[in-house]
Every structure is written in C-alpha cells, then in structure tokens.
C-alpha cells in the first residue's frame, strides 16, 4: 500500500447551517418534527448578489429570474442595449411582485459595450469575465462558483453544413478546456468552475433559423427527443451549480440538453474583448460580501442560409408542465398581484412521485432516497441485498416519518433483493406499479468494488461478480423501472450511478480496479443508448459519475494510514466527497428542472476528471 502515502489532507465540506442528509438524520434527536433542508438550505441563494451579462433576453434573463426565485437578494443584469428591453422590464416588474411570497430579490439593469467577433466574444470574453469574477472571489477570500456557458457544438460536430459553425464550435471547445484548467487552478482557493453545454435552445440567437420553413424541424432531428430546448430548461442546472448543492462538482461539463456562494456574479452574454473596467468587476460595495458565483455565457454572431433547412419530419412539442409556464414565459403572462416563485415548489418538486432506488441500505443509495423524500416524493422503495435493513436505514426511515407535516410527506419502504436477479427486479417494479399506480424515478446505485485483484490476476469468477452487480444489475434495474413508466404512459427519469473510474484510469495500482472500471464505462454507454431508445416515450436517462466518496465501499481503503489524504490528491479540491454532496444532482435529474437533459453523464468528483 505504498502508493497510498501522502503528506497533505483537506477537510470535507462544512456548511454554515450544519449537517444535511443522512448525517443530519443520524444525529437529529430533537422532539420537534424536522423540516427538509434540501431547498431551504442547500439549494437556497438567500442574501446572495448576482451580476448577469446578456440578461436583456434569452438564457441570461432566464438565469437572472431563476436566481431571484432561488432567493438571491439582487441580480445586476448587463447587456449591450442602452435601455432594457420591454421583456426585461416586464420580468423586473414580475420579480418585484414576488417580494413577500418567497422571491425577495430585485433586478437592476446596466448597459455595457460588447464585441461581435465570434472568437473574441465566445472565448476571450469568457476568460476576461472569469478573471473579473474570480479576482473578487480571491479578494474576499470566499468560496465561489464560476459557470461557463459552452455548447453541445463544443463536443460534437454540427451536421448542418450551413450555417457554418466552425468558429463557434472552436470557441466553445476552448471554453470546455478553459473550465477544466481554471477548475484545477482555482480549487485550492475554494472556487469551483464548471461549464454547461446547451443544445439548440429557443433564444434570439437562433430565431433566424427557427423562422425559416423547416428550420425547427431540422434542428429538432439532432436530438432523440425530437425538439429544440426552451430557455427555462436551463434554470435547474444554473441553480444547482450556483448553490451549495453542487459543492463537490468542479471541472465538469453539464449537458443541459438532449445529447446522444454567497454573492453571485453571473456573466451570460456578449463580453467585451477588453478587460472590464473596475466598476464592472466587483470593485463596488455591492460585492463586499463573503462569496461569489459566476455564470459566463458569451454569444457570437451566427449567419444562416435558408437552403439548408429542408426537413420532412414534424417537430415534437416543447416541454409542457401540468402547472403551466415557468420562468420568463410565466413572467410575461402573469398578471396576479402576488406571484410566488415556482423554481422549488414546481420545477424541482417531486410531489406525489414514486421512486425505486437500489443499493439504498446505506451510502449513496440511502442518501439519494432521503433527498427524494425531502423533495416531496410520496414513496421511495429501497432495494438492497441484505435480508433486513441496516440500523442506519431504520434511523433514516424514522427521521423521514417525523418530517411528515413539515414538507417531507413521503415514506421509505425496504425490499430485500439482489440486483443480479432480473426476474425478481421486474416483479418488484410491477408490484410497485400495482400498489402505487405509477413509478416515476429510478436510481440504480447498487455496486461493489470487487476483490481488488489487479488486471492480470483477476479470475473469471471475480470478473463475472463485478459485471453482474455493476453492469447487468444496473440494466435490470433500469428495465424494472422503465417498463412501469411505459406501462403507465408517464414521463420518468432513470439515473444510473457510474463512476469517474469509467472515464479515467485509477492511478492507484492497489487495489486493482480494472473490473470495476470496465463495468462503469459500460454504464456510460448504457445511459446513452437507453436515452436514445426511451426518449420517444418521454423517459430521460442520465448517469452520475462520483469521485471517491466516503462510503462503505471504500471504508477499507480509508482505514489505511494516510489513505484518505492520498485519495483526496486525485482531485484539485484536495479531498474526498461526502455522500450528501450528491443530493443536489440526484434531485435535479429526477425532477422537471432537468426536462431537456438526457443521455448525459454528470461528474461530481472534486475535479478528478479535469486533470
């Protein structure tokens, strides 16, 4: 175990409001009913301040309103126009009417000049904006989050020959690497850097294409769901990355599309190629608070030609929620005197939904189950191989039952079963459907690490065991849930637990990780394939790739002297993750807040994959 030696160690994440999730459940002995903290604490942006560029319309304005609904005190909106648009003015008035109902923030408009060259705006401008925000985060010695708006075209080539996208794609590819590099550089300062890659989304940038006959059809064909995205469908990703709920996520790119903090600074549009003046970089008194959050979205000019827009398919309808429009669309229509925020009460809410979570007797599975309860799920069925639930699970079940009446109305149920038994899992799924009349959410979290033999020494039996649980078991779980989603003709979300070791090789030679890594990379491709197959049925499939987390799976390694410090060195944050740091991403992927996200893998690794 010489490879585990280390001389540095950093503490795990500490929140000012105390423990959350399972850790809180195990410690809580109060006589008063506990209340859920997922939205009121981890996702909350209460008293934070934001600067959003490009916020006169589109994704920038959508982001600004989402931050207000999440509790931000003030959002400063920067754009090129000398005066705010009628749309912005309407949203500002809507936000002011939310005060007293949960949205206490205000919108302010600032006019600033921009550059219109694709590389200058989309690449250089992104760096300059990140510098402007990052320097203030360092100045105030506070943790922060920088979010760079990339694009799916930074990862895959556009199939349209016209309009040409070379310059745009080159710039967005650069943004992806910029996010990874900045994540590594800034992690020691407590600053997280991630990117979001939207697909074609209905904004002013592509209105010229959408207005061409057949144009929307052509764009919609690039995604398995068969439609373009709506700008409000990025509200969830922006809010998750802005908040403490993503505290172990850095150097990641979030595909908020259908692909096969304390103070907040948000840059979401054209940014000048010159370094911003001091009064736009946080030098003013409004930013003299404890932390920062920066979202950078830079937009270049796209030209187009009508000839390339021929299409024979019909466009599928955009996302429609049973509770009506949200975000900017709602603000433009709403005439009530006291509108209330919907971000947590509607888009993130899992009210009345039913979930199946495997590997939920402890660790990441149990943490996910409790998060779903706090988000409003009616029932969460926890499947694990143990004949009886663990004392930890029993304590969490009792904690969840005490939350009823305070916002957590759901219940936990335990089922003993092996995920390797396909027939048994299918029957479990069917019985849940029979009893509940629905099954909306699946989290396939069961997994084993194996006996630790190195690749040249792994026996056939040992290899089969790991593949049976970590690969076949994941498929069987997805089948059990997916068949019920199809049975009830209802949209659903399937979340498969992968691993960072499915994307990068483990630098530890002992214990060996070859079987585990092989199984996890299979989960990644399973996610993409199922996403394409099930999109037409309204079922989304995504994966999560955690880094090294403090769970029973690696408890043997953590028991070795200096092992935890050694594992922490694999990521720029310099520590391992805590199980509760997956609560946010699980909730986002399970909810309507991720309605335009399928076939994506979300890294929550402390930046392990970035270097």
Treating both helix axes as pointing N-terminal to C-terminal, what angle do 363-374 and 391-402 enclose, rounded to 10 degrees? 10
User: Tens digits of per-residue pLDDT, 93-150?
Assistant: 999 999 888 888 999 999 976 455 777 888 888 898 889 889 988 998 888 899 999 9
* Average pLDDT rounded to a whole number, residues 527-534: 96
Q: Looking at the annotation, which residues are catalytic?
A: 516
The lowest-confidence range among 223-227, 366-370, 423-427 is 223-227
State residue 289's pLDDT score. Answer: 28
- Identify the sign of the CA torsion 395, 401, 406, 408: positive
State residue 76's pLDDT score. Answer: 87
* Average pLDDT rounded to a whole number, residues 193-198: 94
- The Cα–Cα gap between 130 and 109 comes to 20
State residue 281's pLDDT score. Answer: 38
The token duo for 235 is: 């509200």
Highest mean pLDDT pick, 64-78, 272-286, 553-567? 64-78
State CA 581 to chain mean position distance: 11
* Average pLDDT rounded to a whole number, residues 390-413: 94
Widest distance between CA atoms in the chain: 70
User: Tens digits of per-residue pLDDT, 30-51?
Assistant: 878 999 999 999 999 998 888 8
More confident residue, 569 or 116: 569
The band of 306, judged by pLDDT with boundaries at 50, 70 and 90, is very low
The token duo for 290 is: 């404890």
State residue 561's pLDDT score. Answer: 65
More confident residue, 213 or 253: 253
Domains with residue ranges and CATH for the chain = 46-309 (3.40.50.720), 349-610 (3.40.50.720)
More confident residue, 48 or 303: 48
Phi, psi of 347 (to 5 degrees): -65, -45
State residue 471's pLDDT score. Answer: 97
State residue 443's pLDDT score. Answer: 99
Rounded to two decimals, the pTM is: 0.88
The token duo for 143 is: 């943790």
State residue 119's pLDDT score. Answer: 78
* Average pLDDT rounded to a whole number, residues 462-474: 96
The band of 14, judged by pLDDT with boundaries at 50, 70 and 90, is low
Residues in the chain: 611
State residue 115's pLDDT score. Answer: 54
State residue 588's pLDDT score. Answer: 98
Which DSSP state fits 385?
S
State residue 159's pLDDT score. Answer: 62
Q: What are residue 110's DSSP bridge partners?
A: 78
The band of 8, judged by pLDDT with boundaries at 50, 70 and 90, is very low
Do the Cβ atoms of 67 and 238 come closer than 8 Å? yes
State residue 586's pLDDT score. Answer: 98
Report CA-CA distances (Å) from 575 to 42, 337, 356, 564.
Answer: 20, 48, 30, 8
């Amino acid at each position: 175990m010489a490879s585990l030696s280390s001389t540095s160690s950093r503490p795990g994440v500490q929140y000012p409001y105390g423990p959350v999730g399972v850790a809180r459940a195990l410690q809580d002995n109060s006589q008063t009913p506990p209340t859920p903290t997922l939205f009121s604490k981890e996702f909350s942006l209460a008293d934070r301040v934001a600067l959003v560029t490009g916020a006169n319309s589109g994704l920038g304005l959508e982001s600004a309103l989402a931050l207000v609904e999440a509790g931000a005190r003030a959002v400063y909106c920067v754009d090129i126009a000398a005066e705010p648009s009628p749309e912005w003015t309407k949203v500002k008035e809507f936000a002011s009417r939310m005060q007293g109902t949960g949205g206490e923030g205000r919108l302010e408009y600032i006019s600033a000049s921009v550059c219109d060259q694709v590389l200058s705006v989309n690449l250089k401008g992104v760096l300059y904006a990140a510098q402007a925000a990052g320097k203030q985060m360092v100045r105030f010695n506070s943790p922060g989050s920088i979010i760079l708006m990339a694009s799916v075209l930074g990862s895959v080539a556009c199939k349209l020959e016209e309009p040409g996208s070379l310059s745009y794609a080159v710039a967005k590819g650069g943004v992806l690497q910029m996010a990874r590099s900045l994540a590594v550089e800034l992690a020691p300062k407590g600053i997280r850097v991630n990117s979001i890659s939207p697909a074609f989304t209905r904004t002013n940038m592509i209105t010229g294409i959408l207005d061409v006959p057949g144009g929307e059809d052509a764009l919609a064909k690039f995604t398995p769901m068969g439609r373009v995205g709506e700008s409000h469908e990025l509200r969830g990703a922006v809010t998750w990355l802005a908040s403490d709920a993503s505290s172990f996520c850095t150097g990641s790119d979030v595909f908020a599309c259908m692909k096969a903090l304390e103070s907040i600074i948000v840059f979401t549009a054209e940014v000048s190629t010159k370094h911003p003046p001091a009064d736009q970089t946080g030098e003013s008194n409004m930013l003299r608070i404890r932390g920062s959050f920066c979202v950078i979205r830079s937009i270049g000019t796209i030209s187009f030609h009508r000839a390339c827009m021929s299409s024979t398919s019909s466009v599928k309808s955009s996302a429609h929620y049973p509770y009506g429009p949200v975000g900017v669309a709602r603000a433009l229509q709403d005439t009530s005197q006291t509108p209330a925020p919907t971000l947590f009460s509607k888009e993130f809410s899992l009210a009345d939904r039913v979930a199946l979570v495997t590997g939920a007797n402890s660790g990441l599975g149990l943490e996910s189950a409790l998060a779903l309860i706090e988000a409003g799920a009616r029932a969460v069925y926890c499947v694990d191989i143990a004949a009886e639930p663990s004392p930890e699970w029993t304590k969490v079940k009792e904690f969840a039952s005490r939350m009823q009446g305070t916002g957590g109305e759901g219940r936990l149920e335990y089922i003993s079963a092996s995920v390797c038994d396909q027939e048994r899992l299918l029957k479990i799924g069917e019985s849940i459907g029979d009893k509940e009349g629905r099954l909306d959410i699946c989290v396939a979290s069961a997994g084993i690490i194996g006996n630790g033999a190195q690749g040249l020494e792994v026996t056939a039996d040992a290899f089969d065991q790991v593949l049976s649980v970590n690969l076949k078991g994941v498929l069987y779980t997805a089948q059990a849930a997916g068949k019920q989603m199809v049975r009830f003709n209802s949209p659903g979300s399937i979340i498969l637990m992968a691993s960072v070791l499915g994307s990068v090789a483990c630098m530890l030679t002992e214990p060996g990780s070859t079987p585990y890594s092989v199984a996890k990379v299979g989960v990644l491709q399973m996610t993409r394939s199922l996403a394409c197959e099930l999109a037409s049925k309204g079922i989304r499939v995504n994966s999560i790739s955690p880094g090294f987390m403090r769970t029973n799976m690696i408890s043997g390694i953590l028991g070795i002297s200096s092992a935890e410090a050694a594992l922490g060195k694999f990521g720029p944050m310099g520590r391992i993750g805590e199980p509760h740091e997956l609560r946010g991403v699980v909730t986002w992927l399970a909810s309507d807040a991720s309605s335009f996200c399928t076939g994506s893998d979300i890294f929550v690794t402390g930046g392990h994959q970035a270097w």
